[in-house]
A = this chain, B = another copy of it.
Amino acid sequence: MRPLLHPSIDDIRPEAVLHALSDPERAAIFAGIAGAGCVEKCSAFASFGERVIPKSSLSQHFKILRDAGLIRSERHGVEMRNTSRCGEVDERFPGLILAILTAYAQATGQDVNIAETG
Contact = CB atoms under 8 A, between A and B. Distances in A.
A21 interface: yes
A70 interface: no
Contact of A99 (B15, B23, B99): B99
Contact of A93 (B18, B19, B95, B99): B99
Interface in A11-26: 13-15, 17-19, 21-24
Main secondary structure of the interface of A (DSSP, over half): helix
B103 A17 contact: yes
**Copies per complex of this chain:** 2
- Interface size range on A against B: 20 to 34
B107 A99 contact: no
A36 interface: no
Contact of A95 (B22, B24, B99): B99
Contacts of A94: 99, 102
From A92, A100, A103, A104, residue with most partner B Cβ within 10 Å: A103
Contacts of A104: 14
B93 A96 contact: no
